[in-house]
Structure 1
Amino acid sequence: MHYTFVNADTLARLTDDIRKAASEGFGPGMLAGAPFLDEYALVPQPAVGLTGIVTGHPRIADGRRCFSTQVFHINAEQGVARTLNRWYRLGRPHGSERN
């Protein structure tokens, strides 16, 4: 049996994004169209992912709780996270006080 869990193009985009985040910071184009994840939290799955209330996701309705693929980069101060499949713009962490 042979299983391919992630294709090479997806990993190449992920690697490129992490390199840019580490060296160039975030330009406006990097997060264009990125879903917004409010009340987010890291969740221990077989690999660490994110959960939160999503807005702007291409396949999940606004206001629904989602569970992301594996997290590879997160910077809470900048309010961004990169999972296997996409960037997320982060809102408030889960359990934070609402304003």
Structure 2
Amino acid sequence: MIIYRDGQHEIHQLQRMIQKLQTLLDDLVAIGEGDLPSQDRLEEAPLIDNWHLATRQIVCLRGEISGHPRLGYAPHGITSDLWLLAPQRGFARTMSRYYRLGTNTE
């Protein structure tokens, strides 16, 4: 997640995030089209032993949401993963959509 304050540092962070997401998207599209990773590519990948599924916390916004396309009004709403927060600009971008930022309780 990036907190955007109109600076060069944030722009570089955003460019790196875009590149990572584009690479992920390209890989998922390829797999969806039946183009699985080659054995050579997998041999270069890190090995994870004794693995299991787990969960971890993600950054999101919680608050009173109104005008949501599916929820309408949610007095105790939680957004999807927060990717960019621009409080000076009055918006946030989650995995799913933009949000306008109202009052902040922090």
Normalised by the length of structure 1, the TM-score is: 0.47
Normalised by the length of structure 2, the TM-score is: 0.45
Larger radius of gyration: 2
| Structure with more of its chain in strand, by fraction | 1
| Structure with more of its chain in helix, by fraction | 2
